[in-house]
Chains A and B, each alone.
Chain A
Amino acid sequence: MKSASTKRKSSVATHDVSVASALPWIGPALLLIILVVIWPVVELVRISFTDITIAGSLLDFHGFANYRELLANPDLYPVARRTLLWVFGIVFFTVILSLPLAQLINQNFPGRKYVRWALIFPWAASVVMTSMIWTWILDAYSGEFNLTLTQLGLIDEPVDWVNNPGSSFYVLMAVAVFVSIPFTTYVLLAGLQSIPNDIVEAASVDGASHWQTYRQIKFPLLRNALLIATIINLINVFNSFPIIWIMTRGGPGYETDTTTTFAYKLAFIESNMGQSTALGVFNFIVILLIVSLYLKLTKATRTEL
């Protein structure tokens, strides 16, 4: 009785709470968001409309000149196309490989704990470190990968996997898939574990085969986990910088650049702040679209549940 009345009181209180009295509680978080999220975005947009020198001195308002220059830059288009391949290719293969992996580590078998540890390792390790290790493994002259292949007689002489124009970008993508798999697998694993056992049991009582159970029961119930994993991966992969930078620096030329590394190159190697900030705004808009898609989808699924 007593508890009910306090409950009612407090719910009334929350209605009357003014923004001012809430401020001490949300203030610090708000301040942090303004400082590290909002302010940089405002600066970015402001600079993108300004004429800026290589030494970072802002000159005057420039209108859309930076944007026009960027769109007139012939190097932008191959980079943009490559970014599409980068994002969708990596997310696709990550998901395709993570689905069976999640299935595997959801099974009970001796040593499962160690397999799970091993799987999570690339995620725990710094991406910079992982990229450097892969660079060394794949090194043309002294890398372990070439050594193994030559000793097995599969190739006659070492292949420069990271730098050959034919394989370079795909090698980078493969490393990115390797780095993305742990997170994706664990999200899918969580999804699998949330599927009630009785549904699966009911299916097997009804005589469903393993494949049928997976396709018709488990996979549809995995939809939410799959959506979340896909969208978070889209954002991560789109923003991914270290793998490309460590392994090829986006080179030769811009041959392995994505819009993220290209923006960095424009700013800090070619001292072209204007075009770089304009590209930064484009990148930001892309991320914003993906995030709003994420919010919309998660909201939809939440109300469904």
Chain B
Amino acid sequence: MKKLTKRRIVALASLGMVASVLVAAPAQANTVTIKVVTPNYTDAMPAYYADLNARFMAANPTIKVEHENLSWDDILVKGRTYISTKSYPDVLNLNTFSEFAAEDLLYKTSDLFTEAKLSDFVTAFRDNSKYNGVEYAVPDLASARMFFINKALFYGAGNTKIPTTWAEVTAAAKKIKAKYGSRVYPLAIPLGSEEAQAEFQIWAGGNGGRYFNESTKKWVINSKENLETLNQLRAWVKAGYTQPNPASTNRTDAFKLFSQGRVAMINASVFFPSTLKDYKSKVDYGVAPFPSANASKKPITLGVQDYFMAFKKTGNKDAVSKYLNFLFEGKNYAGFLKAAGGFIPATKSASTEVDSSLLPFIEQLPNAIFYPGTLGSWGPVVAKITTQIGTGITKNPKTVLDSLQKDAEKAGTN
């Protein structure tokens, strides 16, 4: 409203000026407002953005930034709601981009960044940001996962070696349960709606299971490997080695249990050490590569990257380009990584000065498998996997996988 009147006044004024003295309308003419929607990686994010946006607006008086910081749970729903109702944000930070690229809603990154700037992004992450071979998003950070153990609980139960196979996980869990009874959950498997797709993928990956086969270009959700994985997870749940109701346990809940010393083994991401610090946890933990199904299968890690993307709207291109370039400036981006809490940087320049605790994760990156995030249908497919895969613990696992496969096939492989 305010913007409109202002614009009209400025328009009238400039018209008058052009008519009389032939002076061009001054540059402060149009204020562009951009809406930036971001996920709350940690509680340090709002303060980071408040500072960043204030400095950005001071440097660019014609751009006004409206910022909304949402929890991950909310942004997945609200982000999509914004899109479905066509109230597109200008800049969005999310874990998928391709569904929006498929609808031709996004700027190409070559429209927003110079090639020199783009070449600073880690190549593997850039490749994951392409839809039909064109980059529509830039990576903001990445994570890899490893196997965390609570040393006191794990070794205290008489275990000597961190498991590298599922059979060893079972053996270790058995010892832990025998020693501590119901006070401790040997293994946390969070298959709740927060991150079930990742929890399942990292276990399945160790058995060679994927959601999508990149070479045959087919969905393989109900593959033999995935079914075996789901059956193994069920077996652990049935044996009482996990926390109750895995299908309703969110990752955050599982992390909290680990931080309280109630979980002995857990799959966790690169930022977990900083989360434990936030929780003021006293747990002494060990980190190891993720166990695979058996000795013949190679261990993997799940690489996950998130994206910054900008939505095409009339008159916002210059502003969103400036904003994103500002965010990825050396110091500002370092601040972003710090606020986000211990992720793997997405740019080469920032990778040179990472914290030593990140090194084991970066070492794992060559073994990383990624989601098929460049498919336009990935967004809706992963949304369904996330809410449904956990039900395979209590329901017939084959039925659950078959139904997900059917939906994915219907969504297509574009």
Contact = CB atoms under 8 A, between A and B. Distances in A.
A pairs with B: yes
Interface of A: 53-57, 74, 140-141, 157, 160, 162-165, 168, 248-249, 251-253, 255, 265, 267-273
B388 interface: yes
Given A270-B383, A271-B84, A54 B103 contact: yes
Given A268-B81, A268-B84, A269-B77, A163 B387 contact: no
Contact of A54 (B83, B390, B391): B83
Given A54-B379, A268-B80, A248 B248 contact: yes
Given A164-B245, A251-B193, A253-B247, A271 B99 contact: yes
Nearest to B182: A157
B100 interface: yes
A270 B81 CA distance: 11
B103 A53 contact: yes
B390 A252 contact: yes
Which one of B77, B99, B390 has the greatest number of beta carbons of chain A within 10 Å?
A: B77
A47 B81 CA distance: 16
Contacts, number: 88
- Which size bracket describes the interface of B in this complex? 35 or more
A251 B192 contact: yes
Interface of B: 76-77, 80-81, 83-86, 99-100, 103, 105, 182, 191-193, 244-245, 247-249, 257, 262, 379-380, 383-384, 387-388, 390-391, 394-395, 400, 403
Nearest to B392: A253
A241 B12 CA distance: 49
Contacts of A269: 76-77, 80, 383-384, 387
A252 B247 contact: yes
A302 B44 CA distance: 61
A54 B88 CA distance: 13
Contacts of A271: 80, 84, 99, 379-380, 383
Contacts of A168: 248
Given A252-B192, A252-B248, A268-B77, A56 B383 contact: no
Nearest to B191: A252
Contacts of B383: 269-271
A55 B83 contact: yes
A163 B86 contact: no
A160 B99 CA distance: 37
A146 to B, nearest CB: 12
Given A56-B84, A56-B85, A251 B387 contact: yes
Which one of B191, B379, B391 has the greatest number of beta carbons of chain A within 10 Å?
A: B391
B248 A163 contact: yes
Given A53-B103, A252-B391, A252-B394, 18 more contacts: A54-B83, A54-B103, A56-B83, A56-B86, A57-B103, A140-B244, A157-B182, A162-B248, A163-B248, A165-B394, A248-B248, A251-B248, A253-B247, A253-B390, A253-B391, A269-B384, A271-B84, A271-B379
Contacts of A265: 387
Report whether over half of chain A's contact residues are helix, strand or loop; otherwise say mixed: loop
Nearest to A256: B248
A273 B248 CA distance: 26
B387 A253 contact: yes
7 A-B pairs closest in CB distance: A252-B247, A253-B391, A163-B248, A55-B103, A163-B245, A271-B380, A56-B84
B215 to A, nearest CB: 27
28 contacts: A53-B103, A54-B83, A54-B99, A54-B379, A54-B380, A55-B84, A55-B103, A140-B244, A141-B257, A163-B244, A248-B248, A251-B247, A251-B248, A252-B192, A253-B247, A253-B387, A253-B395, A253-B400, A268-B77, A268-B80, A268-B81, A269-B76, A269-B77, A269-B384, A270-B383, A271-B80, A272-B380, A273-B84
Contacts of B394: 165, 252
Which one of B84, B245, B247 has the greatest number of beta carbons of chain A within 10 Å?
A: B84
A249 B182 CA distance: 28
B41 to A, nearest CB: 21
A268 B192 CA distance: 18
Contacts of B86: 55-56
B85 A253 contact: no
Contacts of A140: 244
Nearest to B78: A268
Nearest to A272: B380
A102 B152 CA distance: 57
A62 B386 CA distance: 29
A155 to B, nearest CB: 12
A41 B387 CA distance: 29
A209 to B, nearest CB: 50
A160 B387 contact: no
Contacts of B247: 251-253
Contact of B84 (A54, A165, A251): A54
B404 to A, nearest CB: 11
A160 B80 contact: no
A55 B391 CA distance: 28
Nearest to A52: B84
A266 to B, nearest CB: 10
Which one of B191, B387, B395 has the greatest number of beta carbons of chain A within 10 Å?
A: B387
Nearest to A265: B387
A252 B391 CA distance: 6
A275 B400 CA distance: 20
A168 B390 CA distance: 16
A163 B76 CA distance: 22
Contacts of B391: 252-253, 255
Nearest to A250: B387
A278 to B, nearest CB: 15
A123 to B, nearest CB: 27
Contacts of B245: 160, 163-165, 252
Contacts of B105: 55
A265 B218 CA distance: 26
Contacts of B83: 54-56
Nearest to B394: A165
Contacts of A54: 80, 83-84, 99, 103, 379-380
Contacts of B262: 141
A35 to B, nearest CB: 17
A53 B83 CA distance: 11
Contacts of A252: 191-193, 245, 247-248, 387, 390-391, 394
Contacts of B192: 251-252
Contacts of A163: 244-245, 248-249
